[in-house]
A and B are shown apart, each in its own frame.
Chain A
C-alpha cells in the first residue's frame, strides 16, 4: 500500500538507492582517490584548460562513472571563449 504511494510521489525504492550508492562507493574505494587528490586533479585540469580558453572555474565538475568493466572520469566545465591568435599558435594566458 505504502509502496504505491511512494512510487506515485516518485520516490525510488530503497533497494535501488542502495545499489546506486554502493556502485559509487565501491568505485571510489577501488580507485583509492582521496578528496585531496581529486582536488589536485581539478586544479590541474583548470590550469591546462585555462591556457587555451576562458572558462568559468566555478562550473568545473569531476565525476566518475562506472562502466561494465571500467571506470570513466567525466569532467564538465563551461567554456566562455576559446583564445585565438592570427598565426594559429597557442595564446598566452590573459590573466
Chain B
C-alpha cells in the first residue's frame, strides 16, 4: 500500500515549516512508521541542520532528479530512529533545477516505500512552491497568530485549492496563551474562522524550540516539553488517533474541580 505524501507549507517564511516537518516526522517515526522527509527548498537547505544530519550529506534532491545517484544514496538515516530518513536539498542550485513532474515522480516512488513522505516547502508561492506541492496529496498549512502570516496562509490555501489539493489542515504555531488572555493576540478560534480550514494542532510559543534546533535534536525527543507534546499530538492526529485539540483557555484549578464534580 502506498504511503501518504503531505506538503508542509505557509507562504510566509520563518513561521516554523522546517521545525514542523522535523518534529512531526520524528514523532511519526517514533510511533513505528517509516518516514522520509524531503527538503524541497532548493538553494536554502535547512532541514538537515534542524535534524542534526548536516555532516552526512553526500548527494541531494537535485542529484536524484538529474540521475547522478540512486535515491537510496541521497537518503540519510536519522541518528536515533532507523525508520526515519531525510532527502536533503541542494544548497548551490536554483529552484528551476527541478520540474514539478520530476517531483511528482519522486514522491510517488518514495510513497511506495514509506508510510509517510513529508515535503518541506520553501517560502513564497513561485516555482519552489509549485515543485513542492506537485507530488503531494495532502497539505498542512503552518501559520502564526500574526496578520502577515495569516494573510499569506490564506493566499496559499487558495492556491492549493486551485491546484485541486483539497485535503488541507492548519497548524497554529507560536501561540502565546498569556497574550490571548490579555486580548493582545488573535485566538485559535479567530484564526480558524478566518482561514476556514480544519485545525490539526496548536503549538505554544517556546524557547525550547530554539534550543532544540541549536542542538539538532527535534523537540519531540524531549520529555516534558509542551511544544514537543503539541507536535507529537499533531502526528498522532495525522495518524488517525482521536487526540483532542488543545484549547486556548487553560482551566484554573477551581474550574477543574467544578468539571470533576459535574462529570
Contact = CB atoms under 8 A, between A and B. Distances in A.
Contact of A22 (B151, B184, B185, B187): B151
Nearest to A6: B183
A77 to B, nearest CB: 30
A22 B194 CA distance: 7
Contacts of B186: 15, 18-19, 22
Among B150, B151, B155, B183, the most chain A Cβ lie within 10 Å of the Cβ of B183
Nearest to A7: B183
A14 B183 contact: yes
Interface residues of B, number: 17
A16 interface: yes
Contacts of A21: 147
Interface stretch (A24-32, A39-47, A78-86): A24-32
Interface in B151-207: 151, 154-155, 158, 179-180, 182-187, 190, 194-195
Main secondary structure of the interface of A (DSSP, over half): helix
Contacts of B194: 19, 22-23, 26
A22 B147 contact: yes
Nearest to B181: A15
Interface residues of A toward B: which range? 10 to 19
A27 to B, nearest CB: 10
A23 to B, nearest CB: 6
A30 B179 CA distance: 29
A15 B185 CA distance: 4
A2 to B, nearest CB: 10
B184 A13 contact: yes
A18 B147 contact: yes
A25 B185 contact: no
B33 to A, nearest CB: 35
26 contacts: A13-B182, A13-B183, A14-B184, A14-B185, A15-B180, A15-B183, A15-B185, A15-B186, A15-B187, A16-B183, A18-B147, A18-B186, A19-B186, A19-B190, A19-B194, A21-B147, A22-B186, A25-B147, A25-B151, A26-B150, A26-B151, A26-B194, A26-B195, A29-B154, A29-B155, A29-B158
Interface of B: 147, 150-151, 154-155, 158, 179-180, 182-187, 190, 194-195
Interface of A: 3, 13-16, 18-19, 21-23, 25-26, 29-30
Given A13-B182, A15-B186, A19-B186, 17 more contacts: A13-B183, A13-B184, A14-B183, A15-B180, A15-B183, A15-B185, A15-B187, A15-B190, A16-B183, A18-B147, A18-B185, A19-B194, A22-B150, A23-B194, A25-B147, A26-B154, A26-B194
